[in-house]
Amino acid sequence: MTDVPIFSFGFIFVILNTMKTDSQLKYSNKVFFIPFLFVFFIWFIYWIEINFGFNFNKFGILPRKIIGLRGVLSSPFIHSDTSHLFNNSVPLFVLSACLFYFYKEVALKVLVYGGVLAGIFTWAIARESYHIGASGIVYLLFSFIFFSGIIKKHYRLVAVSLITIFLYGSMVWYVFPIKEGMSWEGHLSGLIFGFIFSVFYRKKGIVKNKFEFSKTDFDEMFDENGNYIPPILEDNSEIEELNYKYFYKENE
Q: Is 72 part of any domain?
A: yes
Based on the structure, what is the number of domains in the chain? 1
Residue 51 is predicted with a pLDDT of 95
Residue 249 is predicted with a pLDDT of 65
Q: Return the SS3 of 106.
A: coil
Residue 231 is predicted with a pLDDT of 64
Q: Is 248 part of any domain?
A: no
* Alpha-carbon span 152 to 169, nearest angstrom: 20
Q: Are 158 and 21 in contact (CB under 8 A)?
A: no
Q: Is 181 part of any domain?
A: yes
DSSP 8-class letter at 172: G
Below-50 pLDDT ranges, the chain: 1-6, 21, 211
Q: Is 220 part of any domain?
A: no
* Alpha-carbon span 47 to 86, nearest angstrom: 13
* Alpha-carbon span 52 to 67, nearest angstrom: 24
Q: What is the CATH number of the domain that holds 46?
A: 1.20.1540.10
Q: Is 105 part of any domain?
A: yes
Q: Is 250 part of any domain?
A: no
Containing domain of residue 141, as a range?
Answer: 8-200
Residue 185 is predicted with a pLDDT of 96
Q: Which residues of 92-123 are buried (b: 16+ CB within 10 A; e: fewer)?
A: bbbbbbbbbbbbbebbeebbeebbebbbebbb
Residue 3 is predicted with a pLDDT of 43
Q: Are 208 and 38 in contact (CB under 8 A)?
A: no
Q: Is 178 part of any domain?
A: yes
Q: Is 210 part of any domain?
A: no
Residue 2 is predicted with a pLDDT of 42
* Residues 6+ positions from 157 with CB-CB distance below 8 Å: 102, 148, 149, 206
Write the secondary structure of 57-75 as one string of H (helix), E (strand) and C (coil). HHHCECCCCHHHHHHHHHH
Residue 175 is predicted with a pLDDT of 93
